[in-house]
Structure 1
Amino acid sequence: MFHDTDIFRQLSLAERLARVSRLWKMAADRELAPLGLTHPRWTALWKLQRLGDHISQKQLACALEIELPSLMRTLNQLEEQLLITRHPCEHDKRSRIVCLTPEGQQLLTKMETKIMRVRNQILAEISNEEVETLSLLLEKIADNALSTLSD
């Protein structure tokens, strides 16, 4: 019987990247589940905070690289949890602005602690230099992939 590491070594580079991404997501999801958060919910909150809050639903969907209709269910759930509010944009009444509530901001503080714990566990025994090298390599891969899409 193969161990996970044996199976991992047999995967292509693309499969390895996808597998690591899924494992990281699963670890974060497990850590954040006690806060009542699913992957779509916590990633939307995280991205909303990183973008500076008070952004349109469309901007948030673009930043998350998902379609706006896919984001709407998540935003409805976050609103039901009192973690965000939405209101019409002053300049474009068709557009809705998403804002974190004080409860949402408090939850983000808890989330950050848990996410950093997961990050530290996943990156254990990997030097800062190795992380920086990986980051640069992933950026190059992403740039190359984007350039093939624009051809």
Structure 2
Amino acid sequence: MFHDSDIFRQLSLAERLARVSRLWKMAADRELAPLGLTHPRWTALWKLQRLGDHISQKQLACALELELPSLMRTLSQLEEQALITRHSSESDKRTRIVSLTEQGRRLLTQMEKRILDVRNQVLQDVSPQDLELLSTLLEKIAENTLRTLDN
């Protein structure tokens, strides 16, 4: 495990961002594993709920920044767990619509509590002002990166 703060300080900014992201994900995964959820599964459920449910597989893949074939296995697993259903769109039979089941909604309630607990633990010594500054800085970095990619 990575505990030495001196080594962390020697990492580049990109390496630090990636490391913090991995650590946060690991903490969330550990908390959600007892619910039978892996990172791909819980992020798909979370995003499905946030997008308002009843969306196409393609929309969900775009929102998760995944290729549709990469998402298909996760959706099959969630369907096997009876957390989602998939059916053809009435307007376009080629389009598959993803919906949460009642069991999926109940699990999301449990999941939300656990995720908020992890978030609170991870951010326990960070002030609201520092969080706002971090959010602003990350937004600027993302905008600059997107602008660089567009060039």
TM-score range, shorter chain: over 0.9
Question: Hey, what's the Cα distance between the residues in 2 that align with 1:128 and 1:19?
Answer: 22
* CA-based RMSD: 1.0
Task: Name the structure 1 match of 2:72.
Answer: 72
User: Which letter does structure 1 place at the counterpart of 2:45?
Assistant: L
Which residues in structure 2 correspond to 1:62-101 (within 5 Å)?
62-101=62-101
- In the superposition, relative to structure 1, how do residues 116 and 3 fare at CA in structure 2: closer, same or farther (>3 Å)? closer
Q: Tell me by how many angstroms 1:84 deviates.
A: 0.1
Question: Hey, what's the Cα distance between the residues in 2 that align with 1:92 and 1:146?
Answer: 33
| Unaligned segments of structure 1, at least 5 residues | none
**How many residues matched?**
150
- For normalisation by structure 1, the TM-score amounts to 0.97
- Higher alpha-carbon deviation: 52-61 or 129-138: 129-138
Q: Does 1:10 align with 2:1?
A: no
User: Which letter does structure 2 place at the counterpart of 1:94?
Assistant: R
Q: Tell me by how many angstroms 1:56 deviates.
A: 0.2
Question: Hey, what's the Cα distance between the residues in 2 that align with 1:124 and 1:64?
Answer: 27
Q: % of aligned pairs identical?
A: 78
Show structure 1 runs of 4+ deviating over 2 A: none
Q: Tell me by how many angstroms 1:3 deviates.
A: 4.8
Which residues in structure 2 correspond to 1:1-151 (within 5 Å)?
3-151=3-151
Question: Hey, what's the Cα distance between the residues in 2 that align with 1:42 and 1:91?
Answer: 29
- For normalisation by structure 2, the TM-score amounts to 0.97
Question: Hey, what's the Cα distance between the residues in 1 that align with 2:148 and 2:142?
Answer: 10
Residues 108-139 of structure 1, C-alpha deviations (whole Å, 9 max, x = no match): 00000000000000001111111111011101
User: Which letter does structure 2 place at the counterpart of 1:47?
Assistant: K
For 2:82, what is the secondary structure of its paired residue? Answer: coil
- In the superposition, relative to structure 1, how do residues 3 and 43 fare at CA in structure 2: closer, same or farther (>3 Å)? closer
